Amino acid sequence: MTDELPALLRRTLADAKLTPSEKAALADWLAKNVTTDQQRGVARHAAFDAARGALPAECAGVVGWLEDVMRVLAPMGPQSHPGVNAPGSPEPDLALFSPGERCLQQIVHRFMTARRTADVCVFTVTDDRISRSILDAHRRGVKVRVISDNEKAFDPGSDVQKFRDAGIPLKVDDVRGRGRSDPGITGHMHHKFAIFDGVRLLNGSYNWTRGAADMNYENVVDTGDPKLVAAFAAEFERLWNAF
């Protein structure tokens, strides 16, 4: 999802009215840019995000509540189509690639649909679109934990401090090598994976940066394979305890 839609939504929200011409412009943007239920869900989330930004902080929780209610009353995704991955059926595993926004959209989608937990273990986070989805999940009551690299946390554009300020539990790797087989060896916490509600895993080369979406040849695998989810969950807990 590009920045074009948030900008369009903010313009339509300026007078708190959706005029016929604005409605036409929004429909035109959707027709040109949205081809899947997942993309429509990301677009819908952008609308709620715009509403949150226009309201006092004490009202943001009401908007989050409304978004969650709408997900229940009018769900997006395959389960909204009878006969195709009906409720209770496992979601398909996906392999996604960049350049392009498919990896980005899938990461945002997972945070949007997380209900209980999100354990994030990534080298760096500088893409504000991903960071907003992490913060939104935290505000909804999802228990988010983040592990990142200690050096990348100080890079220009890093959103690690935003997570700390929001009260998200966060750890970085220990530069002294604590928890490593050889305490004299130091290096980067270079993982890029996340586990959602203990049942879904995102993993791949994709760094959570704009460059990964715009320029790099990267990949993300989204899987519900129980053995892989369990293996990565164990690695997350090992690192969480070590750091």
Express the helix, strand and coil content of the chain in percent, nearest 5 each: 50, 15, 35
Q: What is the pTM of this model?
A: 0.65
Higher pLDDT, 28 or 115: 115
Mean pLDDT of the 95-112 span:
94
Catalytic positions are 190, 192, 197
Q: What are the boundaries of each domain within the chain? A: 1-87, 90-243
pLDDT (tens digit per residue) in 10-26: 888 888 888 878 887 88
**CATH number assigned to the domain covering 90-243:** 3.30.870.10
pLDDT computed for residue 150 by the predictor: 87
Higher pLDDT: 74 or 9? It is 9
Among 89-93, 97-101, 168-172, whose mean pLDDT is lowest? 89-93
